[in-house]
Amino acid sequence: MQHQSKLPNVSTSIFSVMSALANTHNAINLSQGFPNFNSDQKLIDLVSKAMNSGHNQYAPMPGNLELREAIAQKFELLYQTSYNPETEITVTAGATQAIFTIIIAFIRPNDEVIIFKPAYDCYEPTIELNGGKTIAIQLEAPNYNIDWSFVKQQITSRTKMIIVNTPHNPSGTVFSKDDLLQLQTLTANTNIIVLSDEVYEHIIFDNEQHQSACLLPDLKSRSFVVASFGKTFHNTGWKLGYCCAPDQLMKEFRNVHQFNVFSVNHPAQKALADYLQEPNHYQDLSLFYQNKRDLFLSLVKESRFKITPSKGTYFQVLDYSEITNLGDVEFAKQLTIENKLASIPLSVFNENGLDNKVLRFCFAKTEDTLKRAAEILNRI
């Protein structure tokens, strides 16, 4: 059979490549973004309890109502804003499914979508699958700040969506309140939808506050806020997330969602509904990960890598430009094969493969793992 690929330029994900390389060469894997420690036993027990209590059939299409109510309570507590759990919150099979569904629901052929690179690698292929055109704005290392005056120049009559991500993967930067105000001003009185990828909302450092798209009323009125339980509660393999949006936007989302996955893991939803009744389970997360960031940075401070401390997420970018002139993909592979430490090169997320000689390391690991990784980095 012969067919024309809808994604002819897509190759194997760098995450798969680097993890496979780590497995082959028995390397410490700080590449893929997942913890190497267990989630709270209390949460695991709640899943078992939900299964034993009969929550084993389809959940309602928008998600378990108790969980949606708990999510609504969380937004009121953290951001002093409200979403109707009946009509404005939907539980999804991870944040990526939410992002995929949002783009499918609204992007048509020749619509333009503005994204900021380095960007999470699911955005652009999904836009392409729907016939949209990606307008990529490259952010500059090491601070990765957005020039909103330049963004304004890229907006046209075809601009249908702007995708933002804070805290930002892979750079570890975060939005300021001024960033939100600029985004709100640019999109006011337009039909532009904002997709705000906030999966690391609870992992932000140095007493900074997460700037959610829901904090400004006009911005909230045109925004999807996407979140992840997997990132928050150390169980990425459960693939549970959710999104929130005004009811007119959420209605269109659900039109697609019902034919995409319809509903997601019911016992885990029930368990999370109960677990969220104790806000400290997510309110204490920033300190938990800041301690890991600080440990990792203290361990590598004498290395030859240049360090700009991560402001959020559980990723740290290290600049190796004073060590070698190798491209970042080549150096990442060499580091894995010869030094037994896997990381992620950032050029694969940049426009036209821009190589700033930086690698991304995941510090959502045990103390022992971080110490062994640091020993390797300090020898290079």
Report the alpha-carbon distance of residue 339 to residue 361 in Å, rounded.
14
- Which domains occur in the chain, in start order? 14-32+284-379 (3.90.1150.10), 41-279 (3.40.640.10)
In this structure, are strands 358-362 and 344-345 parallel, antiparallel, or unpaired? antiparallel
Determine the straight-line distance between the first and last CA of the chain, rounded to whole angstroms: 49
- pTM higher than the cut 0.85: yes
Report the alpha-carbon distance of residue 68 to residue 63 in Å, rounded.
7
Angle, CA 202 vertex, CA 196 and CA 204 arms, to 5°: 95
Report the alpha-carbon distance of residue 49 to residue 356 in Å, rounded.
49
| DSSP reduced 3-state for 81 | coil
Locate tokens 């001024």: which residue?
178
Instruction: Per-residue pLDDT tens, the chain, 380 aa: give them.
Output: 888 999 988 888 899 999 999 999 999 999 989 999 999 999 999 999 999 999 999 999 999 999 999 999 999 999 999 999 999 999 999 999 999 999 999 999 999 999 999 999 999 999 999 999 999 999 999 999 999 999 999 999 999 999 999 999 999 999 999 999 999 999 999 999 999 999 999 999 999 999 999 999 999 999 999 999 999 999 999 999 999 999 999 999 999 999 999 999 999 999 999 999 999 999 999 999 999 999 999 999 999 999 999 999 999 999 999 999 999 999 999 999 999 999 999 999 999 999 999 999 999 999 999 999 999 999 99
User: What type of residue sits at position 61?
Assistant: M
Reference 92, options 65, 63, 66, 121; nearest CA is 63
Check: CB of residue 83 under 8 Å from CB of residue 71: yes
C-alpha torsion 103→104→108→112, nearest 10:
20
User: What type of residue sits at position 38?
Assistant: N
Check: CB of residue 132 under 8 Å from CB of residue 163: no
